Amino acid sequence: MFHGSITALITPFKNGEIDWKSFENLIEWQIEKGTHALVPCGTTGESPTLSHDEHRSIVKRCIDVVKGRIPVIAGSGSNSTKEAIELTQNAQNDGADAALVITPYYNKPTQSGMYAHFHAVHEASNIPIIIYNIPGRCIVDMDLSTMAKLAKLPNIIGVKDATGDLYRPLITRHIIGKDFCQLSGDDCTAGAFLAQGGVGCISVISNVVPDKCAQMQNAWTNGDIKTYEKLRDSLALLANDVFCESSPAPIKYAAKKLGLCSDEVRLPILPATDQARKKVDTALKFANMEDI
């Protein structure tokens, strides 16, 4: 089962193109710092602005660089079922360990429509699939009854839950079972999600504090509550403030500040404003204070 600190990788750009050197260096740094798995081409990776060729190239390069050291969960969702199938098949063929498939955005499908979408992706591929439920971006919210029905399919193995509803992992565990992999999709709830039955977080802030995010997850698993609480508290400000403007602009600024890559983003996202940068500066400093 996938668990722990799973980084939703940013996609470094340079002069409008993918900065492959920075991307590869970021992956190596993530592994060195203890990240448990990687997600290329999620929304944090600006997947809506990537061409199909870029999308597949990023996933494949990530897999090639990782070389099986940690799992790679490829973002492969779309509001077009045909496109989601193609991206998921590509991820499978290129050797990804799982696919992260978002609920169809903008279309506003019914619960039956969402079931049919995921069922079609499932039937057209042979790779573990994690449902990405994020009503704030997609408008639609997958009901637990729909998720429970999907969980009966052999390759629907879990959920990235970005609802912010901390009751949901409890009731999901009760209805679907403890083997259904529940991952937080919100850095702000990453700590609390563990206490409610989750097993990890697909994280944005772990792009810049991978060691602390991994250590917090490990501390919880090991029953080291004192360390867990210290790390949870130190990351709280950063978890909030990297979303003060449209993601991933603030986290890319943080990455630039650490020398990981440029802060270049693709339209319609704009680089972080001076006000956002000040917030991120403060949050980064707070996250790295050892005496919290």
At 45, which amino acid appears? G
> Is the separation of the CB atoms in 248 and 255 below 8 Å?
no
Distance CA 233, CA 22 (A): 30
Alpha-carbon distance 156 to 127, whole Å? 9
Question: Which alpha helices (H) appear in 124-209, and where do they start and end?
Answer: 135-138, 144-150, 168-176, 190-195
SS3 of residue 282 by DSSP: helix
Is it true that domain 4-224 has CATH number 3.20.20.70? yes
Tell me phi and psi for residue 189, to 5 degrees: -110, 10
DSSP letter assigned to residue 49: G
Partners of 287 in the beta sheet?
none
User: What are 138's two structure tokens?
Assistant: 């997609």
Q: d(Cα 268, Cα 282) in Å, to the nearest integer?
A: 26
The label of the residue with tokens 């990804």 reads: 96
The rounded distance, in Å, linking the Cα atoms of 214 and 223 is 14
Angle between helices 52-66 and 81-94 in degrees, nearest 10: 30
Residue 290: predicted pLDDT: 58
Specify the DSSP element, H or E, that contains 291: none
Class of residue 107 by CB neighbours under 10 A (exposed 0-12, middle 13-18, buried 19+): middle
pLDDT score, position 292 = 44
Helix (H, G, I), strand (E, B) or coil at 27: helix
Taking residue 237's Cβ as centre, other Cβ atoms within 10 Å add up to 17
Q: Which of 37, 31, 30, 116 is nearest to 75 (CA)?
A: 37
- What pLDDT score does 1 carry? 76
Which residue has 């006000």 as its token pair?
A: 275
The 10s digit of each residue's pLDDT in 31-64 is: 999 999 999 999 999 999 999 999 999 999 999 9
Those residues of the chain that have pLDDT short of 50 are 292
Tokens of 193: 């999600």
Q: In what order do the strands lie in the sheet with 4-8?
A: 37-39, 4-8, 200-203, 181-184, 156-161, 129-133, 98-102, 73-75
- Other CB atoms within a 10 A radius of the CB of residue 57 amount to 17
Q: Judging by beta carbons within 10 Å of its beta carbon (0-12, 13-18, 19+), is residue 51 exposed, middle or buried?
A: exposed
Q: What is the pLDDT of residues 161-205, one digit of tens each?
A: 999 999 999 999 999 999 999 999 999 999 999 999 999 999 999
Catalytically active residues, by annotation = 132, 160
